[in-house]
Amino acid sequence: MNRLVAFLGFLLLLIAPAAGQTADLKLVVLGDSLSAGYRLGPDEGFPEQLQKALGEKGHSVEVVNAGVSGDTTTGGLARLDWSVGEDTDAVIVELGANDALRGISPEISRQNIEEIVRRLRERGIEVLLAGMLAPRNLGPEYAEIFDPIYSEVAKTHGALLYPFFLEGVALDPDLNLSDGMHPNAQGVAVIVERILPKVEELLANAQSS
């Protein structure tokens, strides 16, 4: 029995990463409450579930939660430099929902998102822009200006695009908290599953660069 225990321990040493071993890549999620883990448990938020999913796919990456509940694109831009450290390889930008909820001018949102992506790309950081759609109660004119921001900015600055962060989750009561706006743990799992191929593409770009 002692020999068996010792042998199993030896196998674990071979499989487990060495103590203090760091990940090959660092991925920062710059977002608002949708990605920050609003009212969710410690391991239920988007960065945490994404970290687990990437690990299961064999990726050596550290996913950092830089989400701030209530943040707008203006807030994200203001904290960009200290939220995204010099050792960052890639960033998922998930901002804009609060701009739309507050009826902030889409032109302001566009300027902020464009500046965030421009500055990150200027630093040599790969970017995945997670899009948002304007609430339809703001009227068609607002949506017509707001909705294309993400695809146009991504195209201009060579960023990857995931068109709608809440795809497959928005308006589904089973996948959202009681407020009807924030994903629950199951909703986050759906988001992670759907966005994962784009995140893997993002990491491949970061690895090659």
> Which residues are known to be catalytic?
33, 179, 182
What contacts 16, CB < 8 A, 6 or more positions away? none
Q: Which residues pair with 61 in a beta bridge?
A: 25
If DSSP codes are grouped into helix, strand and coil, which group holds residue 193? helix
> Position of tokens 């994200």?
76
Q: Where are the alpha helices (DSSP H) in 123-184?
A: 140-146, 149-157
The dihedrals phi and psi of 179, each to the nearest 5 degrees, come to -75, -10
Q: What is the distance of C-alpha 87 from the center of its chain?
A: 17
> Which residue is associated with the tokens 């706006």?
181
CA–CA distance from 152 to each of 42, 107, 161, 163, 191 (Å)? 35, 13, 10, 11, 22
Kindly report the backbone phi and psi dihedral angles of residue 2, in degrees, each rounded to the nearest multiple of 5, phi listed first.
Answer: -60, -40
| DSSP, res 184 | -
30's enclosing H/E stretch is strand 25-31
